[in-house]
Amino acid sequence: MDDPHTDFQISLQNIEFIAPRVNKGIQFILVINGELKIETNSRFYHLEEKDFLVINRNQLYQVQGSESNSTLSLTISDAFMDHHYAEYRNRRFECYSREIDMGRDDMIQSIRRLLANVMVSHYRQEESYKIEIHGNICQILLILIRRFKEEGSVFERADTDNLRLSQMIDYMERNYEQLITLEKVAEKFYLSTGYLSRYFKQKVGMGFSRFLMNIRLKHSMKDLLYTSDSISQIAMNNGFPNSKSFSSLFKEVYGITPHAYREKHGIQKEDSIQSYSKEDAAMLIRSPEIVANLSSLLMEDQKSYSHTETRFDKLSINLSKPLSLKLNCPDHILNIGEIIELLKEDVQSQVLAVKQDLQLRYIGVHHLLSRTVIPPEVETDEAIATTSPYFNIDRALEFLKKHDLSLFVRIDYKDISRNEDHYFNKLAQFMRHCLQLYGEAFVKHWHVMFYEPYSTGVEAKELQRIYLRLHGVLKRFVESIHVGVYMPFSFRKEKTNDHHIWQLGYSEYIDFIGYSANQNEFIDFKEMVDDSFQLAKEYIKEKTIKMKWYLKKNHLEKPLHLVSWNTLSGNTRFTNGTFFRGALVLKNVLDIANDVESVGFWINTEVHEEGGRDQRFRMDGLELFHYFNGKRPAYFAMMFLKRLHGEVVAHGSDYVMTQNERGFQLLLMNCTIVNPYFSLEETILQKLNKDLRVTISGIQTGEYQIRKQVFDKEHGALYTKWWNFNSKHGMDAEIIDYIINSSRPSLELFDETIDGDWSFYSYLTSNAIHFFDIRKTY
């Protein structure tokens, strides 16, 4: 039975045969049980249980069913589509459930469920059933329009509601293999040839002869796929004057010769349905058993797709002309505060984890010569002292040497100025001790950075004097040790301040330069609407570029180390946790990967906040671990960078693709800059998500194993898990261990046969990272 509402035709049928006809509106055909064979203008479809197909407007099709089948048919009228979707006449929809690119399974399951809901509501006809049907159909159309639309063909755009035009096209469709001329059709429909030519061009957008050739062309596709006729026979059977004109037009339209097309698609051979003697034998089935079967279909698929509000983007990657660029992964500085933190077992385990998973090279420390690190010597009456002030620091240094790690020491002017002579004497004794125990090969890789902040009141000459003395003491012991300076740099003024400008004149005494870049510096978090949130988007990259130009202009081109930095985080621990920033962290490092030697991180939240007791909340750095050894987003973001290896063959603002000995790797990011306070509003974040269709051409034909990892707010974000297990009664070790062990990126595995262009879909939430390992199999 058809729905009395003329916008939608809904029926549950047993289909034996539907004769060839031109479809009106958009039709969904869902097989509940049994099988259907559907032939359209250009191809053949075999549908089994739970398969569905979308048939477009003006599309010629025919159907043959198995002896026993139950099929749901939903047709949505042209009038409804025209009223609600202005681009309807210029679009077609490619949606066949058995041929869906990787990443679209959720969409197909949702359409199945919505179609089943439509059917159940239609037959039960409970209160408000018409509203339920209308709502479900609108959801189906949103998915179809936003995820499966293509440019419409001239046949789909034609106005078949125009009776005269519809009759003409029907006549041409039925007699295309015969001799048809403009004069003959004009005479048949009582028109002049001139008027018919203009009328046809106006209504369908192309000339009469070309339209006729296209009809013949689409019918010839069927013979190419489903018969063994020669190219010449196919040309003659479909009304072409000769095989040459057929081949020329075919190649012009499809970009390939008929012979090559047949070779490429020959595996799709099926017997063509030639017998069109039967009329439609669609029988409506209303039995409760069929409706019950439909209800069970609703329960089978648990996943749902509800991302129709997100933006849809396309990414095309052509590997025929690879870039062949070298991928640079900067070394990492892991700041731990005072070096004796390394004596703690949990700190050591975190350091070793970072060493294994990330590009760790340096352990960053400050207050190297403090009394807690190197206590004063104890007076003793022993002939040979059995105690040493270096006992604790030696254990830490032995750990570093064993694991091939170097020191990155920050020496503050404030530490020296308390007692300058004492400090340098103590430094000299320490250097002598290290050379004696560990040798120059270990010590020469250390980096020592002289530090004084931007807001200093110390005069330039004083800073210059102290630095030169520091430089002299260190170089006297180890000439090849790296001694450098921290340079405060103003993004807006594009220069350093007056207290540090002396550095520009001492290039020969400076081995490297450390600097900081923090997007939070740009923001007034009290302003909920602030243009600076967008200005902060490229802040770290732009600051690095400006600084390099400034140094080059002043003849101070030295290796750069980004010792302190941060992405947008908000100014509370809560916003810092709820605002997922994984892609922002990775993108910022990728942006400057070729400009810096290293980037700095804090080892964990506890150490970071312990080092800044004067601040309510630290925003001057990124931590790799939270409390209780839980990995923060920066850890996983950098892990993906470490895993990405090989030559860069394609890249853009939000993706990188490499080629290596195993195959390819593809990194996708959805970088979104937004006020972190908006991270509390899911409706706002929903608009920032991205549904991406990726098409890659140029991959060698063959079998591949695809490993896909997803890192986003739901897969790897520690704070989300923590929040989900929130309890006023607290958490014990079991809960904490579960949160830590389950807070990691997800892993999916796919087997793919790649032959030609390979397309798939990825749904990236705000600041998500998707990592694909595309491995060739043998």
Q: Please compute the mean of the pLDDT values over residues 120-142 and round it to a whole number.
A: 86
**Is residue 275 situated within a structural domain?**
no
- Residue 101 domain boundaries: 8-154+281-310
Q: Which range, of 116-120, 534-538, 629-633, averages the lowest pLDDT?
A: 534-538
**Res 514 pLDDT > 70:** yes
Best CA proximity match to 239, nearest among 261, 216, 221: 216
Instruction: Please state, in angstroms and rounded to a whole number, the distance separating the CA atoms of residues 623 and 350.
Output: 12
Task: Give the confidence band of 412 by pLDDT, cuts at 50, 70, 90.
Answer: very high
Strand 282-284 vs strand 8-15: parallel, antiparallel, or unpaired?
Answer: antiparallel
Percent pLDDT > 90 in the chain is 42
pLDDT of residue 4: 44
Task: Give the confidence band of 261 by pLDDT, cuts at 50, 70, 90.
Answer: confident
pLDDT of residue 273: 31
Instruction: Please state, in angstroms and rounded to a whole number, the distance separating the CA atoms of residues 45 and 161.
Output: 27
Instruction: Please state, in angstroms and rounded to a whole number, the distance separating the CA atoms of residues 411 and 395.
Output: 21
At 442, is the secondary structure helix, strand, or coil?
A: helix
Asked which of 611, 642, 673 is the last residue of a domain, the reply is 642
The 8-class DSSP code of residue 744 comes to: S
Q: Give the amino acid at 554.
A: N
CATH number at residue 260: 1.10.10.60
Answer whether 0.85 is exceeded by the pTM.
no
**Res 617 pLDDT > 70:** no
pLDDT of residue 470: 97
CB of 433 within 8 A of CB of 390? yes
Same domain, 678 and 624: no
Same domain, 400 and 522: yes
Q: Kindly report the backbone phi and psi dihedral angles of residue 380, in degrees, each rounded to the nearest multiple of 5, phi listed first.
A: -145, 155
**Res 685 pLDDT > 80:** no
In Å, how far are 17, 31, 48, 145, 449 from 11, measured between CA atoms?
A: 16, 12, 18, 23, 77
In Å, how far are 27, 431, 501, 531, 607 from 414, measured between CA atoms?
A: 77, 20, 19, 38, 21
pLDDT of residue 649: 93
Asked which of 590, 618, 642 is the last residue of a domain, the reply is 642
pLDDT of residue 501: 95
Same domain, 440 and 535: yes
- 518, β-bridge pairs: 566
**Is residue 1 situated within a structural domain?**
no
Q: Please compute the mean of the pLDDT values over residues 234-259 and round it to a whole number.
A: 86
Same domain, 623 and 664: no
pLDDT of residue 281: 30
The listed range with the strongest mean pLDDT (186-200, 365-379, 691-705, 728-742) is 691-705
pLDDT of residue 285: 40
The listed range with the strongest mean pLDDT (5-9, 602-606, 767-771) is 767-771
**Is residue 107 situated within a structural domain?**
yes
The listed range with the strongest mean pLDDT (235-249, 366-380, 504-518, 575-589) is 504-518
Instruction: Please state, in angstroms and rounded to a whole number, the distance separating the CA atoms of residues 270 and 267.
Output: 9
**Is residue 17 situated within a structural domain?**
yes
At 311, is the secondary structure helix, strand, or coil?
A: strand
Q: Give per-residue pLDDT as tens, 556-583.
A: 999 999 999 988 765 555 555 567 889 9
Tell me which of 724 and 598 has the higher pLDDT. Answer: 598
Q: Please compute the mean of the pLDDT values over residues 724-730 and round it to a whole number.
A: 72
The 8-class DSSP code of residue 756 comes to: S
Task: Give the confidence band of 682 by pLDDT, cuts at 50, 70, 90.
Answer: low
Same domain, 754 and 666: yes
Best CA proximity match to 762, nearest among 681, 702, 689: 689
CB of 651 within 8 A of CB of 318? no
Compute how many other C-beta atoms are within 10 angstroms of the C-beta atom of residue 323.
11
The number of CA neighbours under 13 Å toward the Cβ of 249 is 20
Q: Please compute the mean of the pLDDT values over residues 420-434 and round it to a whole number.
A: 96
pLDDT of residue 634: 93
Q: Give the amino acid at 550.
A: Y
Q: Give the amino acid at 332.
A: H
Tell me which of 148 and 530 has the higher pLDDT. Answer: 148
Q: Looking up tokens 């294994």, which residue turns up?
A: 356
Report the length, in residues, of the chain: 778
pLDDT of residue 119: 83
At 179, is the secondary structure helix, strand, or coil?
A: coil
CB of 362 within 8 A of CB of 447? yes
pLDDT of residue 67: 78
Output the six-digit token pair for 248: 């020329």
- 566, β-bridge pairs: 518
Output the six-digit token pair for 574: 């809560």
Instruction: Please state, in angstroms and rounded to a whole number, the distance separating the CA atoms of residues 44 and 41.
Output: 9
Q: Which range, of 107-116, 118-127, 265-274, 517-526, averages the lowest pLDDT?
A: 265-274
Strand segments (E) across 462-589: 482-486, 513-518, 560-566
Asked which of 642, 672, 699 is the last residue of a domain, the reply is 642
Same domain, 527 and 672: no
pLDDT of residue 517: 93
Same domain, 56 and 138: yes
**Res 464 pLDDT > 50:** yes
Same domain, 587 and 633: yes
pLDDT of residue 523: 67
CB of 333 within 8 A of CB of 599? yes
CATH number at residue 143: 2.60.120.10
Task: Give the confidence band of 382 by pLDDT, cuts at 50, 70, 90.
Answer: low
Q: Kindly report the backbone phi and psi dihedral angles of residue 694, in degrees, each rounded to the nearest multiple of 5, phi listed first.
A: -105, 130
Q: How far is CA 592 from the centre of its chain?
A: 20
Q: Please compute the mean of the pLDDT values over residues 424-439 and round it to a whole number.
A: 96
The sign of the torsion formed by the CA atoms of 413, 417, 421, 425 equals negative
Query: Residues 523, 687, 565, CA angle at the centre, nearest 5°?
Result: 30
Task: Give the confidence band of 705 by pLDDT, cuts at 50, 70, 90.
Answer: very high
Q: What is the mean pLDDT of the chain?
A: 83
Spatial CB neighbours of 476, under 8 Å, sequence gap ≥ 6? none
Q: What is the DSSP string of 526-569?
A: T-SS-THHHHGGGHHHHHHHHHHHHHHHTT----EEEEEEE---
Same domain, 439 and 321: no
Task: Give the confidence band of 276 by pLDDT, cuts at 50, 70, 90.
Answer: very low
In Å, how far are 72, 717, 775 from 637, measured between CA atoms?
A: 46, 11, 21
Percent pLDDT > 70 in the chain is 83
Q: Give per-residue pLDDT as tens, 76-98.
A: 998 899 899 888 877 889 899 88
**Is residue 514 situated within a structural domain?**
yes
**Res 727 pLDDT > 80:** no
In Å, how far are 262, 448, 514, 550, 603 from 561, measured between CA atoms?
A: 59, 12, 5, 16, 17
Instruction: Please state, in angstroms and rounded to a whole number, the distance separating the CA atoms of residues 693 and 107.
Output: 13
**Is residue 141 situated within a structural domain?**
yes
Strand 513-518 vs strand 758-764: parallel, antiparallel, or unpaired?
Answer: unpaired
**Is residue 276 situated within a structural domain?**
no
Instruction: Please state, in angstroms and rounded to a whole number, the distance separating the CA atoms of residues 450 and 771.
Output: 39
Same domain, 453 and 515: yes
Instruction: Please state, in angstroms and rounded to a whole number, the distance separating the CA atoms of residues 304 and 708.
Output: 20
Which contiguous run of DSSP H or E holds residue 283?
strand 282-284
Instruction: Please state, in angstroms and rounded to a whole number, the distance separating the CA atoms of residues 25 and 509.
Output: 78
Strand segments (E) across 554-626: 560-566, 598-604, 623-625
Q: What is the number of structural domains in the chain? A: 4
Tell me which of 491 and 158 has the higher pLDDT. Answer: 491
Q: What is the DSSP string of 336-365?
A: EESGGGGGSHHHHHHHHHHHHHS-EEEEEE
The listed range with the strongest mean pLDDT (76-90, 125-139, 358-372) is 358-372
pLDDT of residue 678: 54
pLDDT of residue 609: 78
Q: Which range, of 402-411, 527-536, 621-630, averages the lowest pLDDT?
A: 527-536
pLDDT of residue 268: 42
Same domain, 138 and 195: no
**Res 247 pLDDT > 80:** yes
CB of 774 within 8 A of CB of 706? yes
In Å, how far are 44, 63, 254, 387, 438 from 39, measured between CA atoms?
A: 5, 7, 20, 91, 79
Instruction: Please state, in angstroms and rounded to a whole number, the distance separating the CA atoms of residues 686 and 358.
Output: 31
Compute how many other C-beta atoms are within 10 angstroms of the C-beta atom of residue 288.
8
Same domain, 474 and 565: yes
CB of 352 within 8 A of CB of 378? no
Instruction: Please state, in angstroms and rounded to a whole number, the distance separating the CA atoms of residues 279 and 123.
Output: 27
Q: Kindly report the backbone phi and psi dihedral angles of residue 652, in degrees, each rounded to the nearest multiple of 5, phi listed first.
A: -150, -170
CATH number at residue 664: 2.60.40.1500
Q: Please compute the mean of the pLDDT values over residues 34-62 and round it to a whole number.
A: 85
**Is residue 420 situated within a structural domain?**
yes
